[in-house]
Amino acid sequence: MKSKVTTIANRLVGQGWNRREAMIKAWEIVKAREIDSKVSGISLPNRQRAAERLTRYAPESVRISLRRDKGNEYDNNAVAVMASVNGSNAYQMGYLPRGLAMYIAPLMDAGKAVAATFKQVTGKYQSWHNYGLNVNVSI
């Protein structure tokens, strides 16, 4: 029977990671209680505008939540990353990367508490660069 580490690493390799980095990341995911991660899918224009708006607020004002997206046609383990500021309506900023979501989604489905916090908005170093979003996921 394959271990969780091997299963996660194999999926990461299938997504283009080299074997060594995939094994290291898989061990981090399985053993860690919290993981820093980039948010995938933030390059869409509306999400870029939302990320730019987040830069106007103090980091402690930004709330991140995770929402399971079972109906996602591209990834049955999809976990949406939602952001809100000072209690406003949450806006979908993107998704947890597949390699992380494939581990987090079953935990969420089983009712385990999974939380996320805002780390930072990155990028836009030049006018043609996109913003990025980093979060911390704790299990």
- CATH fold, domain 33-138, is Alpha-Beta Plaits (3.30.70)
Query: What residue ranges do the domains of the chain occupy?
Result: 1-31, 33-138
Per-residue pLDDT of the chain (139 residues; tens, 9 = 90+): 467 788 778 877 887 889 998 888 888 777 778 889 999 999 888 999 999 999 999 999 999 999 999 999 999 999 999 999 988 899 999 999 988 898 888 888 988 889 999 999 998 777 778 999 999 999 8
3 state DSSP class of 84: strand
Cα-based torsion angle of the residue sequence 123, 124, 130, 131 in order, rounded to the nearest 10 degrees: 50
**115-123 sheet: strands from edge to edge:** 34-38, 131-138, 115-123
The pTM for the full model equals 0.78
